[in-house]
Amino acid sequence: MKTPTNILALVEVLKVKEGSDFSCEEEMLAQHLEKEKEPKPALSTSVLGILGGALATLAFVGFMIVAGLHHSTAGLIFFGLLGSSGGMALHYYSKSLSYDSIAITLYLCGLAMFLAGLYSADIDENGIALLMFLVGIISYAITESTLIGFSSAIISSISVLVLLTQNNKADMLHFYNLLVVLSFYWVCTNEGFFLSKTFKTAHKYQALRAALLLSVITGLAPLGENSYGGLTGNYTWFSAIANTALILVCSHFIMEQLSIQRLLSKIIIYTLSILLLALCAYSPGISGTLLIILLSFKTNYKWGLAIGILAFVYFISRFYYDLNLSLLQKSGLLLGSGIVFLALYFLLIKSTTHEQE
């Protein structure tokens, strides 16, 4: 189903099988497939586009310095908003990758100028974080660019983290992470909801999913640092229970997807999963990245799977490094964890092979 011909043939098959209950915007699908046939810009074109946008921005900044506008708070805010708006408008002018590269450059440089203007205006840091959060939300709602949509969603996420840190509410990170993890879970498991709307929504879906993925990881990273912004660790159990529950739910759907029907296999998988998660209950990063891996596997999200595995290795390494144990004891725990993971892997392979037979 990778070629347009196969996709259109599949649509015809679905129309026959589903009858009047099946609906599809065939004209829009055909137009989209025609666009997909067009040759994609080479990587060198994208790099040149980014460099061109960066050079143009530097030239504009040089003009501002010569004109003395960098001393003007109003000038920074005005030209910052102008640059960000111009970046979003440029994507409407052309959907090519080179224009998109220039658009994201203008957008980010404009936001940097806007942020500098807010700081020079002596606005409270909470107010700046709230403004950046709103700018990110509004930008995501307006833009059709995947790159700008991704950047704006990340900016909103970072703004929330800054608000929690500045107000000594680091313990609220557990509740923030729960909200982000639930959002990531819902977005990943409801891909059809986004893709069935419009192709514009589909592009924004990719940006939102990627932004939520990074937001989950950046939200989990501080939880292992006891010195982070007054983090006490009193609510670590909350993140552990929430992640464990979501992992078990996700495991249930994956077992259905892999056609694992034997009750004994399910009991063993659930038992080993709970034991594994109990061992790392005080490291929400491990359970959180495990959830990312399972969700990405379930939804065939390759980038999420790769990033989740890398983050999982990082959190595992930090977890064992922070343990107040001897090197020999840490080695034994690592060996035991490896055996558990291998047991889960071979059990999964054996179960799926048995079901297929």
Q: Cα 208 from chain centroid?
A: 7
CA distance 272 to 341: 9
Q: Which two tokens stand for residue 242?
A: 């929430």
Q: Is 202 a domain residue?
A: no
pLDDT of residue 108: 82
Task: Summarize the confidence of residues 225-232 as an average pLDDT.
Answer: 57
Same domain, 16 and 128: no
* pLDDT given at position 161: 86
Domain boundary among 111, 135, 167: 167
Q: Are 15 and 127 in a shared domain?
A: no
Judgement on whether residues 78 and 98 belong to the same structural domain of the protein: yes
- Structural domain boundaries, residue 52: 44-167
Do 31 and 12 belong to one domain? yes
Q: Could you give the CA distance from residue 283 to residue 315 in angstroms, rounded to a whole number?
A: 8
Q: Read off the pLDDT of residues 18-63 as tens digits, 9 standing for 90 and up.
A: 666 666 666 665 655 555 555 554 444 545 555 655 566 667 667 7
Domain boundary (167, 189, 223) is at: 167
**Per the domain annotation, does 149 fall within a domain?**
yes
Residue 155 domain-assigned (yes or no): yes
- Asked whether residue 121 is assigned to any structural domain, the reply reads yes
The answer to whether residues 84 and 138 belong to one domain is: yes
Going by C-alpha positions, the residue among 311, 318, 354 that lies closest to residue 334 is 318
CA distance 63 to 71: 13
For tokens 């080179």, what's the residue? 98
Confidence (pLDDT) at 134: 92
Residue type, 55: L
* 7/19 Cα distance (integer angstroms): 18
Number of domains the chain contains: 2
Same domain assignment for residues 72 and 14: no
- Among 167, 194, 225, the domain-final residue is 167
**Same domain assignment for residues 65 and 146:** yes
**pLDDT digit string, tens, across residues 160-215:** 888 888 877 777 787 888 888 888 888 888 877 776 665 566 667 888 888 888 88
Residues 63 and 158 in one domain: yes
Q: Are residues 7 and 87 in the same domain?
A: no
Q: Are residues 31 and 142 in the same domain?
A: no
Q: How is residue 42 annotated by DSSP? A: P
Say yes or no: 139 and 82 in one domain.
yes
352, HSE (Cβ side, Cα atoms, 13 Å): 10
Are 18 and 52 within one domain?
no
Q: For residue 8, what pLDDT is reported?
A: 61
Ranges assigned E (strand) in 39-132? none
Other beta carbons within 10 Å of 341:
13
d(CA 191, CA 300): 11
The answer as to whether 255 is a domain residue is: no
- Mean pLDDT across the chain, nearest whole number? 74
Q: How confident is the model at residue 355, as a pLDDT?
A: 47
The answer on pLDDT for 2 being more than 50 is no
Is residue 283 assigned to a domain? no
Assess if residue 209 is contained within a domain.
Answer: no
Contacts (Cβ under 8 Å, ≥6 apart) of 317: none
Residue 355 resides in a domain? no
pLDDT of 4 above 60: no
Measured at the CA of 296, the angle between CA 291 and CA 300, to 5 degrees, comes to: 155
